[in-house]
Structure formats: C-alpha cells, structure tokens
Amino acid sequence: MSLDRRKFLKAGAALSILPLVPSLALGKTVQASSVNSGLVKNGTVITAAHWGILKLTIKDGKITKSEPWEKVTRNENPLQYYTADMVYKSRVKYPYVRKSYLANPNNPKPELRGKEEFVRVSYDEAIKLVARELKKTRDTKGTQAVFGGSYGWLSSGRVHNARVLLHRFLNVTGGFVGVSGDYSTGAAQVIMPYVMGSLEVYEQQTSWESILENSKTVVIWGSDPLSTLRIAWSVSEQRGLMYFDKLKNSGIKVICIDPIRTETCKYLDAQWVSPRPNTDVALMMGMASHLISVNKVKYDFLDNYTVGFDKFKAYLEGKKDNVKKDVAWASKICGVDENTIKTLAELFYDNPTMIMSGWGMQRAQHGEQPHWMLVTLCCMLGQIGTAGGGFGLSYHYSNGGVPTCKGGVLGGISAGPVGIWRNGKFVGMPKANASGGGAEWLQQSASYSFPVARIADALLNPGKTIQHNGKTIKYPKIDFIYWSGGNPLVHHQNTNNFAKAWRKPRTVVVNEIYWTPTAKMADIILPATSSYERDDISMSGDYSNMHIVPMKQAVLPEGESRDDYTIFSDLCKVYGKDVFNAYTDGGKTPLELIKQYYNQAYKQTQAYGAEFATPMPTFEEFWEKMNL
C-alpha cells in the first residue's frame, strides 16, 4: 500500500502542479477548492466529516447537495447525503443566558435549569459574563470547582477540536477537573494493559490483506461493522466497508456471534450463533473446557507467551467453588446448544481463525471479563501473531485493519498546558507537543480527573471516595461546568439521574451548534459554527492515514455563531495579552495553524527521499489555487 501511494503521488505531480488529495484504491485525484478569493457562491467544495470525504454543491451561497467524493463500496453510507440539514436545522444562532442566571449569577436558581426561558444577549456581553464567573469560581472555590470534561464526538479537523480547545483555554486560565476513560470501551481499556500490555481497543489491527489471504474462518463477535463503519473518529476513508465486500466474496467461512442477527450477518450470509445477552464469557469458557477435554490446546504457546493458565484451568475445573465450567454448564447459561459449542471450539482450533470482537459486551457490570476471556481463549488456540489467526478489537471501528500508508501525518492543536493564570498574573509554562488526533479523550490534560461514567455520581456526591484501577479517587465539589463538543445529557447512562446532577453546580456554560438537550439545560450558551462554516484540515483513516483532506469553508456562519477557537481566544483576551498569546501561540489564526500542521507533514516526507517528497504540493498549491 505504501508503494502504491508513492507511485500515485509521483504520477500526480507529473500530471499537474495543482493541489491534490490522493486516493489509493482508485488512483483518482481531486483538487482542493479555493477560499483565497472568497467563498464559493456557486460551484462545489471538498470537505470532510466523520462519515467521509464529501463533495458539496453550493448555489447562491447555500449548500444544496452533499455526496461522497468517491464510492469504494457497494454499501451506501446514508450519512454522506444530509450535510445541508446539519447546517440549517435546529441551530443555536445567538448567545443566550438563562433568565434567572442573568438576573443574579450569585443566586441563579439552578433547579430551574432546563425549565425557564433564555434571554438573548450580545456576544461581547456573553464573553464578559463567562470570563467573570469563571474567575469568580476559581477565586472563591479553587481550581477543582471547575469541570471541563466535555467528552463527546466533535469536529474531524485538527484545529477546531472543540474538547481540546476547551481544555487548552481552561489550562491557560488556571486549570480544571477532567475525566478519564470513555463510554465506548470503559472496561476493556482498563483491563487490556494488564492482560496484553497495551490498550488494544484503539490500535491498528492485523491487515485485512493478510486476513483475506490466510484466514479460513472469520468470527464477528458482538459487533455490526456495516453500521458502525459508516463513521470514523477523524474522517472515514470507507475502506473498512470495502474489505467486508471482499470478505463476502472470499470463500472464507464467516460466523457472527451476537444475540441479534445484525445487518452484517445478513449481508455476509454468515452462520449465526445467538447467545443470551451478556453470557459471552460462559460461552467462551464452555469452548475452553471442550478444547482441554479433546486435547486441542497449544500448550507450547501458553508456556512461552503467557502466565497463569494453571490457575484458569483450575477455575474451569471447579477446584475452589465446586462448579465445573464445562460445555453443559455453559449451554444452560448462554442458550447455545452443546454440540454447537463443541463444533465452534474445534473449528477455531483446526483453522486459521481471526476473531473480530466488538465493544458492546464489555459495556456491562464486570465488563472487563469478556475481552479478558477472549484473549485467554485465543491463547489456548495458539494463533495470536500467526498468519490469518488471532483476535482484533477494532475491525468495526474507524476502519481498523486497513493497511497504514507511508506519508506525512498531520499534527493538531494541543491542550497544553502552555501557561497558568495565577493570583492575577500569567505564569508561562513549557509548551506541550501537538497531539496527532485519534482518541483525544485518552490524553490526560487535566490536573485532576475521575472516570467519565461517574460524572453524575461526582456531581451528586462531592467528597465521596471511590476505588478505580487501583487508586482512590475523591470527588471534588464542582460549581462551574464548561462543555464544548458533546451532548452528555443523552450520552450518559440514567438520563433522569444525570439531569438531577446537572442542576447541582452554580454555572453551566455550553458552546453548541444545535439546540441539544444539553444546550437547553445550560445557563450560558455560545453559538458555535459547524465544520462547514470554517476552514480546517484532517487526515482520513484513523489507522490508515490515507489522505490529507482540506476541510474548506463552504458557507457563511449561521447567525452570530463563531468557531470555538475564536470564542476561547476572545475569552482569553479578557484575561490579558499574555494569556491570549499563550492560547493562540502568539496570535496565530486558524488558517495559519492549518498551514503549520500541513508543513509539518510535508517536512516528514522529506525523510523518505526525493521519490516520495517531490510530489507533495506546497501548502499554497494544496489550499488556494483551484475551484472545482
């Protein structure tokens, strides 16, 4: 795949010196649209979102059509056709303050949050109010009274990353309390480092090319990739769906283990095994017991690469609890007949088998057990690291398994800290390295944090201590929440309890594009632009790094909305010139940051030699010169 990319880039340079976005699979190019001479009023613009690289049709300054830039799979992605709705529907167009909060921020009646009307205010008034109340909170109650978790899916771009921009602002103005972990893989990402020595859930997978060439059996366990591969954390390059097309036509035996006969199972015409929900561990233990009974266990692998199998075997045999976890025991729990359990276990052992696990089965009480047991089973099969065998935890997410390309990789805005505002003056600190995207929520940028799934518990029970991953955590007394780039009221478990907790702090500030439930339960709302109303840049493919994509501004912002970078820069101005310069790295504009990240990627390619480096256009060629 790397060679293909180099050849393509070299050919592209020979054809044109104009800006290009490369595509590996089809060998096509697309030229970036111009914003240098103003927005495109009538024409097309290339941009990107979580669901792929998009071509937008603009008429009279409005988006009238959205479609994929390229189609590489027979499975249509419906998310690519509704960009106009995302720009023009349910927008927060102006700054608003909740009536009681505006009347008296010291007694804002938080119990009315979400129940009373908002008052429209000027942008400058809203900025001054947020800055004043944030300063007041820190001065009277300390840094741990400010909560900036702001977990959620956000813009795909490397500049306008709402959560990171918020954390950067809170760091340069005095610090904050954040969150650790995520809702997606909260249990697996904690247990896997102890089991495998690495996170696993957000790591590149065995290449699809290797699977298609070497695997005889593919098991899709607890996931529906045809649905979840419609999006990526950055920008989807759609190749994950393309590989499932290839899997369908490969002749490889596919088994889907899931309580539901998913769209993926139907599409692949796979064998469907339907255990009762949350009984996957019992099913795997039944398989493990059967493998031991028929002496189909790779003991050499266990001896060389694992520790503790003797304890696990004793547990299966019921040495301590007098409960033998055999096939009959497993069948009663999971509802899968004994013969199927035995047949599956021997099939996995006798053939190069890749087990592709989803994340749903670890989102439960004792959620660390399924993936721990899955790895144990795969170790017994002895196929981890072999051609066509082993396991993967990210084939259903962000196109895991699509081969990684060799080329320049964009950096992005960092959370800092680059400085701290203390006792009325700014204290500079060393700059942090720019983050390269990916799972930003795993990057620890706060001085203090607690698990994200405990937000409501923390708000309702300040001072309470909990045990988490071997540590004792004490909840702070949170009095100021700033949220940007997420919708926790519908993301968090137990909505009614979360709404009760959300009414505890004195202040809730939200930067938001839409009138989400979280926006409706804020005290101060600042209108944010969608990614189609500002310039940005991104990679496509979280694992493949296949394209560098211009995310060109397509239309003017709705109402008085502003991008988060501008909002936080304006808030920093209230704190003074030093804070503003620290936040903006000396007053850099978003376009200057876009250029900076592109040029960093450009310099990376120089190390690959002239054959690779020559075709990559300069930033000006990439960004400015062409309309579509």
Residues labelled catalytic = 151, 153
Q: Where are the alpha helices (DSSP H) in 249-279?
A: 263-268
CA 185 to chain centre: 11
Rounded to a whole number of angstroms, the distance between the first and last alpha carbons of the chain is 28
Separation of alpha carbons 176 and 164, rounded Å: 13
- List, in order, residues 6 or more apart from 573 with CB less than 8 Å away: 579, 580
Helices (H), 62-216: 83-88, 99-103, 123-141, 162-172, 188-195, 208-214
Measured in residues, the chain has a length of: 628
User: Cα separations (Å) of 91 from 80, 88, 94, 513, 603?
Assistant: 20, 7, 9, 6, 40
- Helix, strand or coil for residue 614? coil
Residue 132 CB coordination number (10 Å): 12
Which residue, among 218, 217, 239, has the nearest Cα to 230 in the 3D structure?
239
Cα separation of 511 and 564, whole Å? Answer: 7
As a 3-state breakdown, the chain gives helix, strand, coil percent values, each rounded to 5, of 40, 15, 45
Euclidean distance between CA atoms 222 and 258, whole angstroms: 5
The CA distance from 340 to 322, in Å, is: 25
DSSP three-state, residue 59: strand
How would you write 544-557 as a 3-class SS string? CCCEEEEECCCCCC
Task: Find residue 58's DSSP bridge partners.
Answer: 43, 63
Tell me, letter by letter, the H, E, C secondary structure of 569-610. Answer: HHHHHHHCHHHHHHHHCCCCCHHHHHHHHHHHHHHHHHCCCH
Please give, one letter per residue, the 3-state secondary structure of 218-251: EEEECCCHHHHCCCCCCCCCCHHHHHHHHHHCCC
Apex 201 CA angle, 195 and 203, nearest 5:
105
| Residue among 575, 572, 578, 536 at smallest CA distance from 553 | 536
The dihedral built from the CA positions of residue 440, 445, 451 and 456, taken in this order, carries a sign that is negative
Q: What is the DSSP string of 186-204?
A: TTHHHHHHHHTSS--TTSP
Q: Which two tokens stand for residue 415?
A: 């959370």
